[in-house]
Amino acid sequence: MKALVYEGSGKIALKDVPRPHIEQDTDVIVRVALTAICASDLHVIHWGYNRPPNKILGHEFVGVIDEVGSGVKRFKAGERVLGICTIQCGQCPECNRGFPVYCHNGMRYSKEIDGAQAEYVRIPFADASVEPIPDGISYEDALLVGDIFPTGFMGAQYGSIVPGDVVAVFGAGPVGLAAMEAARLFGPSQIIAVDILDYRLDKAREMGADTVINAQKDDVAQAIGAATGGKGADVSIEAVGSAPTLQGAIASTAKGGNVSIIGIFRDPVEIPMHTMVHQGLSIRMSVVNVSGIDRLMALVGKGKVDLKPIITHTMPLDDIERAYQMFDEKLDGCVKIALRV
């Protein structure tokens, strides 16, 4: 089968590799229909990210179950499913507490197991690690529910948004746009999008941002102050993973406000504790929380959330190396790329 393989040292290649097979009775094999490129895939390529070479990349995907292990209870061959971006057992204390991303038995695609930028993918602990796609929901609608939408939703949740709040989202990439879409569910009075690329800010405006700010052209804290009558944002969501962005989010948040961090940071970051203490700011952070995927899917199915505008390009798997270049170098107005398999 064809698959996108991380070769190590910043190199990737589309290769012919053996098709996966059932290894444990809790496995399923999914025939991938649609997959996507995530910024975390770029982190693997550029940072290594503790990934071994010769692993297949990718953790965002939808498809059809092709084979089912004898211990799988929830699924049968032929069902359409969404792949959740992490593998969790569904039975350990962390899973039972609602934090499956910290599962004792958990695995990461392209690390312990091969990923899904391929024609087929093996999924361990399938009962807890895939979600059925209900009738009436297309693959395109479901694709982003396995990773960036739960990440964005977590960012909104951790910001403790209440109706009438002003929410500033720092980063108008795929995760930031998903956070804006999620924030709207909580009834904010204003959503402010911050980025350094005008085309991404145009996308944020298209998706309903009330105010957009280019951080390369304006002093963000001043601009947010001007947009809020001098108060600042009640909730700031950091969706980039950079020190300047986090510091800008803290500086832009109103007294007593909340800072929610969903960006992935490579290096340690200093934060202005003096400002945070004297402003009375609260801060909360995590990697993606994938509990409640069924509820997020229901929001998509009922039309309460529309994630499709985040996908700006759809390409065949054969063009995945070019797709990575476009995504990495932000070519042709690229925000998110889906790949048909």
Q: What is the DSSP string of 141-160?
A: HHGGGGTHHHHHHHHHHHTT
Query: Structure tokens of 177?
Result: 């746009």
**Cβ burial 303-323 (10 Å sphere, 16+ → b, else e):** eebebeebbbbeeebeebeeb
Looking at residues 254-271, what average pLDDT do you find? 95
Domain that holds residue 68: 2-147+289-340
pLDDT value for 260: 98
Lowest mean pLDDT among 45-49, 72-76, 128-132, 180-184: 45-49
- Cβ contact 314:8 at 8 Å: no
Question: What percent of the chain stands above pLDDT 90?
Answer: 98
Does position 191 have pLDDT exceeding 90, yes or no?
yes
Query: In this predicted structure, what is the pLDDT of residue 205?
Result: 98
Q: What are the tokens at 69?
A: 């292990």
Task: Report the CATH number at residue 92.
Answer: 3.90.180.10
Do 254 and 336 belong together in one domain? no
Same domain for 43 and 116? yes
Quickly state the pLDDT bin for 262 (edges 50, 70, 90).
very high
Model pLDDT for residues 315-329, shown as the tens digit of each residue: 999 999 999 999 999
Together in a domain, 24 and 111: yes
**7 and 116 belong to one structural domain:** yes
Please check whether residues 153 and 177 belong to one and the same domain: yes
Asked whether residue 166 falls in the same domain as residue 250, the answer is yes
Tokens of 329: 């170098």
Q: Report residue 207 as tokens.
A: 């998706």
15-73 pLDDT tens trace: 999 999 999 999 999 999 999 999 999 999 999 888 899 999 999 999 999 999 999 99
Output the domain CATH number for residue 217: 3.40.50.720
pLDDT of residue 48: 87
Residue ranges of E strands in 37-90: 55-56, 61-68, 80-83, 86-87
| Nearest-angstrom CA–CA distance, 126 and 20 | 15
Tell me: do 154 and 142 sit in the same domain: no
Among 263, 285, 307, the domain boundary falls at: 285
What tokens appear for 210 in the block? 């009330």
From 285, 304, 324, give the residue that closes a domain.
285
9 pLDDT exceeds 90? no
Domain co-membership, 212 together with 269? yes
Find all residues with CB under 8 Å of 219, minimum gap 6, and list them.
none
Amino acid in position 124: P
Mean of pLDDT values over 1-9: 96
Helix (H) or strand (E) holding 331: none
- The distance from CA 109 to its chain's CA centroid, rounded to whole angstroms, is 14
pLDDT at residue 173, rounded to an integer:
98
* 153 in the same domain as 143: no
Q: Do residues 93 and 193 share a domain?
A: no
44 is written with which tokens?
A: 């693997």
pTM summary value: 0.96
Q: What is the pLDDT of residue 16?
A: 98
Q: Could you tell me if 155 and 136 lie in one domain?
A: no
Q: Same domain, yes or no, for 165 and 268? A: yes
Last residue within a domain, chosen from 242, 261, 285: 285
Average of pLDDT values for 224-250? 97
* Residue 128, pLDDT above cutoff 90: yes
pLDDT for 256: 98
Q: What value does the mean pLDDT take over residues 226-239? A: 98
Say how many domains are in the chain: 2
Burial profile 93-110: b = 16 or more Cβ within 10 angstroms, e = fewer: ebbeeebbbbbeebbbbb
What is the distance between the alpha carbons of residues 316 and 143, in angstroms, rounded to a whole number? 15
